[in-house]
Amino acid sequence: MKSVLFGWYIRFLKLCAFFVPIRSNSFVILNGAGRSGSNGYLFYKYLRKEHPELNVTLVEPWPSSHLKWSVWKKIGGAQYIFTTHQPFKIKRKQISFSLWHGIPLKRMGFMAYNTKYHTNKHNMNIWQHQADYIASSSDIYETLMASCVGIDTNKFIRTGFPRLDFLNKPISKRIILKDLFDSDNEKAKIGIYMPTFRYELEDKTIMNQIESGNFFAFDDFDIVALNSTLVENNQYLIVKLHPYEMKLVSAEMKQASNIAFLNNNYLNENDIDLYELLGITDFLMTDFSSIFFDYLLLNRPIIFVSNFLKQYSKARGLLMSPYENIVPGQQVLNQKELQIILKNIDKDPYKERRNKLCTIFFEKDKNCCQSIYELTKRVN
């Protein structure tokens, strides 16, 4: 019932905003990606810094039923609208740019095992009619997105993604160590663990493990032993869970000296995005998250936590397989294996493989924000 009412709410506000006149060179960014690698938010930061003469509005969270009419007027009067998820615009004359939020590894849309055809068909129609331009990094990205969502290939523009520009513009490592770990260890190596959304596996056991503080959902999880391994190797681990999972983790499990949970509050309060922090990390741990593709550009060690590979392959499916031939890093199924790899993180045999994958997924990975801005001038 709530979704139906929300749909009518959006239709009503779109109708009202339709009569707002379009203002030249007005930009609205509808950010539905929070601060976790948001192309929308980082493009907004670029515009504010490099083009202060522009009229730019950041709308977040999006979509929302709590937006003021003044915000809807800006959306209705925007010449350019940028989105991080589904494309959106109110008038045909508006120009809609889709920045999306990652190169997909897991199946989605038409390709997923756990979606419905009529929903996918509805979403395809939205993309066809609402998206004018879709940021792309490579041929393979366009192939994957077109397969999943049914996008017309002539909508893709090889601009790259705004967040890629910020991988090489990181904030201070010293500040992160102090803020998150209260440490000034000059030998520190920082890793980050970013799993995908595990709630969709519909397995209560996994959620119960996470709620108990077992953020890996390992059967042999031992936070004391894990923290000891990190201390021995001058390693610090940032844990960035999906917001839903983050709410489950009990406060008493956040006290390990070399393990810190990163939530959106810290990012919001400091006006930074995760990708402005990612560049200071020395290694990544993930499972099936698209973040590993972007991390290829840093060419640093990646550890793949694959304890739920069978479940994901069955419930949703992967776009590329076999998994072990795609991922450029060591796989772990339990904490014992993870601790061994952490002790030998510098022995990294995957550099060449990461470089090769990087050339496949990123034909465009620099000056992405500038490329998108210049595109707006050409289609004016």
Same domain, 258 and 172: yes
**Chain segment 315-361, per-residue pLDDT in tens:** 899 999 899 999 999 999 999 999 999 999 999 999 999 999 999 99
Decide if 178 is inside a domain.
Answer: yes
Say whether both 373 and 322 belong to one domain: no
> In whole angstroms, what is the distance from residue 36 CA to residue 232 CA?
30
Given pLDDT bands bounded at 50, 70 and 90, which one contains residue 202? Answer: confident
Average pLDDT of 54-77?
94
Cα gap 367→167, rounded to integer Å = 12
The answer, yes or no, to whether residue 259 has pLDDT greater than 80, is: yes
Residue-wise pLDDT for 285-303, tens only, equals 999 898 999 999 999 999 9
Number of separate domains in the chain: 2
φ, ψ (nearest 5 deg) of residue 285: -125, 130
Residue 351 belongs to some domain of the structure: yes
374 has a pLDDT exceeding 90: yes
- Angstrom distance (rounded) from CA 88 to CA 75: 10
Can you give 193-246 as a three-state secondary structure string?
Answer: EECCCHHHHCCHHHHHHHHCCCCCCCCCCCHHHHHHHHHHCCEEEEECCCHHHH
Q: Are residues 139 and 263 in the same domain?
A: no
Task: Check residues 59 and 63 and name the one with the higher pLDDT.
Answer: 59
Q: What region, left, alpha or beta, does residue 53 occupy, with left being phi > 0 and alpha being psi -120 to 50 degrees?
A: alpha
Q: Which two tokens stand for residue 267?
A: 């990012």
The answer to the question of residue 1 being in a domain is: no
| Nearest CA-CA partner of 28 in 12, 15, 17 | 17
Is a pLDDT exceeding 70 seen at residue 253? no
DSSP helix/strand/coil, 190:
strand
Residue 199 belongs to a domain with what CATH number?
Answer: 3.40.50.12580
* Burial of residue 16 (number of CB atoms within 10 Å: 0-12, 13-18, 19+): middle
Contacts 24+ apart (CB under 8 A), 262-268: 262/180, 262/192, 262/238, 264/34, 264/35, 264/36, 266/179, 266/180, 267/34, 267/35, 267/36, 268/35
Residue 252 pLDDT level (bands cut at 50, 70, 90): low
* Domain identity same for 124 and 197: no
Position 6 in a domain: no
The answer to whether residue 130 sits within a structural domain is yes
Whether 303 and 206 map to the same domain: the answer is yes
* Predicted model pTM: 0.93
Q: Which domain holds residue 184?
A: 168-361
CATH number for the domain that contains residue 136: 3.40.50.11820
The reply to whether 192 and 317 lie within a common domain is: yes
- At a CB cut-off of 8 Å and minimum separation 6, what does 12 contact? none
Question: Please, what is the average pLDDT of the chain?
Answer: 92
Both 327 and 206 in one domain: the answer is: yes
130 and 204 co-located in one domain: no
Residue 8 included in any domain: no
Percent of the chain with pLDDT over 90: 77
State how far the Cα of 123 lies from the Cα of 102, in Å rounded to an integer: 18
Residue 206 sits in the same domain as residue 66: no
Confidence of residue 1 (pLDDT cuts 50, 70, 90): low
Percent of the chain residues topping a pLDDT of 70: 98
- Reported as a single tens digit per residue, the pLDDT across 144-197 is 999 999 999 999 999 999 999 999 988 999 999 999 999 999 999 999 999 988
Whether 64 and 92 share a structural domain: yes
